[in-house]
């Protein structure tokens, strides 16, 4: 008959064997996933994809969001457009138009500063309580066309 000590030793060995088997079963899915990843990386290396620089985008990557959509307008451009469409507006009304039309919240004080700078440049002038765009500003916004003409042509 076995002693209690021998029984406990046998039971301990069975538990250790069971624990090793449980660990092996738990690692098996991860080992197969690891093998699949290694195979995929090897395939990419053979295709020449592994030599790409870290900061360089992949050639098949979609363009970055900054390159899509409309060109951003400056506050000055938006004020000029607003004054062209509705001359005689004051700073508060222009700020309201910028927020309403372009969802660009600008304080009336900032609009006033921008209008003062545009007045110095000859793009806008005060008219009564409001502002108007000077018509010469439309020509300044247009691209220059340089033509060369030969004598007699």
Write out the two tokens for 85.
């469409």
Does residue 136 carry a pLDDT above 70? no
Q: Residue 50's pLDDT is what?
A: 54
Residue whose C-alpha is closest to residue 118's, from 145, 153, 78, 152: 78
Write out the two tokens for 145.
């066309």
pTM of the predicted model, to two decimals?
A: 0.46
3 state SS of 125: strand
Does residue 150 carry a pLDDT above 70? no
Q: Which residues of 87-116 are buried (b: 16+ CB within 10 A; e: fewer)?
A: eebbbebbbbbbeeebeeebeeeebbebbe
Q: Does domain 75-138 have CATH number 3.20.20.70?
A: no
Q: Residue 92's pLDDT is what?
A: 93
**Which residues, 6+ apart, have CB-to-CB distance to 49 below 8 Å?**
none
């Amino acid at each position: 008959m076995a002693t209690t000590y021998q029984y406990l030793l046998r039971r301990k060995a069975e538990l250790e064997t069971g624990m090793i088997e449980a660990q092996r079963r738990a690692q098996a899915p991860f080992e197969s996933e690891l093998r699949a990843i290694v195979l995929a990386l090897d395939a990419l290396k053979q295709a020449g994809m592994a030599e790409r620089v870290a900061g360089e985008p992949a050639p098949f990557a979609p363009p970055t969001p900054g390159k899509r959509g409309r060109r951003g307008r400056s506050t000055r451009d938006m004020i000029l457009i607003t004054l062209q469409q509705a001359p005689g507006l004051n700073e508060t009304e222009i700020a309201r138009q910028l927020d309403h039309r372009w969802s660009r919240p600008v304080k009336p004080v900032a609009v006033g500063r921008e209008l003062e700078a545009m007045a110095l440049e000859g793009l806008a002038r005060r008219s009564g309580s409001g502002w108007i765009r000077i018509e010469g500003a439309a020509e300044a916004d247009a691209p220059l066309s340089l033509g060369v003409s030969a004598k007699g042509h």
